[in-house]
Amino acid sequence: MGSGGPRKVTTIKIFAAGTLLALVIAVPAIAVTLLTHYVVKTSLIVTLVAGVITLFVAMAFGYKLSKRLAKVQGSESDLGKT
């Protein structure tokens, strides 16, 4: 099917992967913060704590997603070998 050589990673692919990771990390934290503050009407401290917890969970998911994106793009990094 392929020649077996490394695939060329273009700048567009890198920007697309970075944008996808930024959206995966930022959107859930912003959504939870806005919902807890404006819909649930909790205090500011509870809102911030919920937003930070969501941010850390999203960052963990983004880390796993970045490993998969690196494999898909044909990257030869040490992250994919562990």
pLDDT recorded at residue 76: 46
Q: Domain for residue 44, yes or no? A: yes
Q: Domain for residue 40, yes or no? A: yes
Q: Domain for residue 20, yes or no? A: no
Q: Domain for residue 11, yes or no? A: no
Q: Domain for residue 47, yes or no? A: yes
Name the CA dihedral angle for 50, 79, 6, 2, rounded to a multiple of 10 degrees: -70
pLDDT by residue for the chain (82 residues), tens digit each? 455 556 677 888 889 889 999 999 999 999 999 999 999 999 999 999 999 999 999 999 999 988 888 887 775 444 445 5
Look up the domain containing 47 and give its range: 25-72
Report how many domains make up the chain.
1
Q: Domain for residue 39, yes or no? A: yes
Residue 81, amino acid: K
Q: Domain for residue 7, yes or no? A: no
Distance, in Å, from the CA atom of 58 to the CA atom of 25, rounded to the nearest integer, reads 5
Q: Domain for residue 56, yes or no? A: yes
